Amino acid sequence: MRETNGSAGEAMPMVRFDHVTKAYGSLTVLNALNLDVAHGEKVAIIGPSGSGKTTVLRMLMTLERINDGVIYVEGEPLTHMERGGKLVPANQRHLRRLRGKIGMVFQHFNLFPHMNALKNCVEAPVTVLKMPRREAEERATELLEMVGLGDKLGHYPSQLSGGQQQRVAIARALAMRPKIMLFDEVTSALDPELVGEVLNVIRKLGAEHDLTMLMVTHQMGFAKEFADRVCFFYAGKIAEEGPPEEIFANPKNERTQQFLSAVLEAT
């Protein structure tokens, strides 16, 4: 339990990690992480595997409980709720209310295999947002058209390529009208020739929507071109952060230099 930080107003960032710690047993994955993401900001999270970067997204999506600290969304605690001036761990009801602001796209798509593309994008708006089915289907169709799959509405995930599945997954997440979108290595499971089509959809989202985005990525070129800010994670901490031009052209931290030269060598 800790004191609430009082007036959560306009000035609060879209997302705030306040001294967030996550440990699995004796292994500390994230160590007192502080990170603010502004409204509409696009943040790329890079770093070696095991540096805790995916955990950042999973905690924000409430897929993982945190051990210490507080995560705020639009100034409101996500992981906790206020009870008599104190913050106590959030219950399911609180989590469900705040989680609605966040959408996530996974490395392995995680589409529902027994539903076609349209149904994948209709299910949650109907059952969670209580949207009339007709309206949900119209919106889902628009979203699937936006990701270039207007002709694949009746296709099941098994009938789609990896890139197509991932684009359905993006449409599915957008159908819930999130304010924040999380992309967890969304091109890592794709064949190289399919990466471009998914990145193009994300580019389009960035240009057309007022979304705040956090992405864990190994696509350094994309991070450089797309992100407003790059955070380099090392051993559960942000070792270095800044505008992509700076991080990629002139990294100051030795770990960042090593990581970038290793990654660039590989490509």
Q: How many CB atoms lie within 10 A of CB 9?
A: 7
Residues 39-68: x where in contact with another protein by CB under 8 A, - otherwise, as a string: ----------------------xxx-----
**Segment contacting another protein by CB under 8 A, of 106-114, 133-141, 231-239, 249-257:** 106-114
Residues 65-84: x where in contact with another protein by CB under 8 A, - otherwise, as a string: --------------------
Q: How far is the CB of 104 from another protein (least distance, A)?
A: 4
Q: What is the distance between the alpha carbons of residues 189 and 163, in angstroms, rounded to a whole number?
A: 9
Q: How far is the CB of 185 from another protein (least distance, A)?
A: 13
Q: For residue 146, which of 197, 185, 221 has the smallest C-alpha distance?
A: 197
Rg (CA), the chain: 19
Q: What is the distance between the alpha carbons of residues 130 and 125, in angstroms, rounded to a whole number?
A: 6
DSSP labels, 22-81 = EEETTEEEEEEEEEEE-TT-EEEEE--TTSSHHHHHHHHTTSS--SEEEEEETTEESSEE
**Segment contacting another protein by CB under 8 A, of 7-15, 69-77, 112-120, 244-252:** 112-120
Residue/partner pairs of 200-204 with CB below 8 Å, 24 or more apart: 201/146, 201/147, 201/148, 201/167, 201/170, 202/170, 202/226, 204/146
Choosing from 34, 91, 127, 258, the residue that interacts with another protein (CB under 8 A) is 127
Contact status: 90 vs another protein (CB under 8 A): no
Q: Rank residues 19 and 97 by Cβ distance to another protein and give the closer one.
A: 97
In DSSP terms, 76 is beta-bridged to 73
Residues 159-188: x where in contact with another protein by CB under 8 A, - otherwise, as a string: x------------xx--x------------
Choosing from 72, 106, 233, 248, the residue that interacts with another protein (CB under 8 A) is 106
Q: Rank residues 6 and 93 by Cβ distance to another protein and give the closer one.
A: 93
Q: What is the distance between the alpha carbons of residues 56 and 15, in angstroms, rounded to a whole number?
A: 11
Q: How far is the CB of 122 from another protein (least distance, A)?
A: 11
Instruction: Point out which residues bind another protein (CB under 8 A).
Output: 61-63, 96, 99-100, 102-104, 106, 108-114, 116, 123-124, 127-128, 156, 158-159, 172-173, 176
